[in-house]
Amino acid sequence: MSVAANAVPLHASLDHTHAVDARSWVDSAADHPDFPLQNLPLGVMEINGAPRAVVAIGEHMVDLPAARDHQALGALTPATAAALGQPDLNAWMALSVAERTALRHAVFALLSAEGEFARSPSAERRAVVRPRGDGQPLLPARIGDYTDFYAGIHHATNAGRFFRPDMPLLPNYKHVPIGYHGRSSTIEVSGAPVHRPQGQLRLQPDVPPVFEPSRKLDFELELAIWISGGNRRGQPIPMDQADAAIAGFGLLNDWSARDIQAWEYQPLGPFLAKNFLSTVSPWVVTSDAMAPFRARPMAREANDPQPLPYLQGSQYAGLGLDIALEVTLSTEAMRSRGLAPQRLSRTNAAFLWWTPAQLLAHHSSGGCALRAGDLFGSGTISGERPDSLGSLLELTQGGRQAVRLPSGEERLFLQSGDELGITGRCEREGFQSIGLGVCIGRVLD
């Protein structure tokens, strides 16, 4: 799905690392669908039993502590050098924008076919760049706090229609970013099994609730927004500084138990229906890498309220994101027959009513201190068409119209053995396309 009409003037942080003709000496990086030289996302891999900060390049990865120790990254600030030796990316996220950009430039130079390291002895290159299969992905950061927003206006309208037919979109929605504080202890990296939660279900309006496994397990297609933080309690982050306080982006599946949610959500909102698991992709695609793929915020109609001044600022026009998002489903029966996963939805992050920077500015506006490694979920991202919906709740019209699969099976909600995959890609004419990797989870009852 293209949102070329939302293209904005070239972002101020565009530089040589975004050049479409830049090539790496790492063969697998050439036209890689996710991780060409222009991307360089960071993650954490368990290598030989220990977590290490890495950068993805094609089907390989740069071992950042090894690159530092081999002096392959040039001169680094003491804070940057120390961050590369940590077992998570929190210290890297806490670096200044200038330090994070300088590290990107250093890794780009290390991997560029035109750089000096390309002519280093092969043994030295193998010590620094190794196959990604040598490691096991871990969570990118220690997540201190997790906030899930509700910034996808089409999802908010669709879901509201099921729960509140008389008022699908509440009056505050277009004025204020809506969110709730979630549970960070049950966020896991892509590939973690999905255990069906138990909870109270109200099966009929006139009978008492029962305590049973959820019968309406669902997915929610979201963006992961990784925070660099830095403000003290009582000091809001203004819009003109909000984008700099975001370290990068990934994919997030906020698994949901719709039957538990329907019974418990009044009057305080999501609770057990949402805190049994959220899955994130392992790679943090940096704000620098996203510079070519900025977009205008979602267009407001003439009668829509404009954001209050604290949610605008001079950078407001260019802080949306153009990320094509896709959801696929495969069942045990499909895999046993060699059938490819079925695409359920294609949508775009440009359908977010609020930009990530607005979410951050609002979150801190009351004085909340944000810390490096905090995680935001964007909220479910749905488009306008029936094939662009970000949850089964919407795809099945509230559980009334089953999705038919190539195996002949039907789904209203997820069943045991179902595997849900989320991918994200960024494309714009004149730039190398990049991806956000994959976010996968399989249901185990």
| CA nearest to 60, candidates 144, 126, 146, 159 | 126
C-alpha–C-alpha distance, residues 54 and 35, integer Å: 13
Q: Are 249 and 290 in contact (CB under 8 A)?
A: yes
Q: What is the 3-state secondary structure (H, E, C) of 426-440?
A: ECCCCCCCEEEEEEE
C-alpha–C-alpha distance, residues 105 and 143, integer Å: 27
Residue 83, classed as helix, strand or coil, is helix
C-alpha–C-alpha distance, residues 245 and 111, integer Å: 27
Q: Residue type for 348, please?
A: N
DSSP string, 199-249: EEE--STTS--EEEE-S-EE--EEEEEEE---PPTT----HHHHGGGEEEE
Q: Are 380 and 152 in contact (CB under 8 A)?
A: yes
C-alpha–C-alpha distance, residues 426 and 428, integer Å: 7
C-alpha–C-alpha distance, residues 148 and 155, integer Å: 14
Q: Would residue 155 show up in a list of annotated catalytic residues for this protein?
A: yes
Marked catalytic residue, from 155, 195, 362, 363: 155
Residues annotated as catalytic are 155
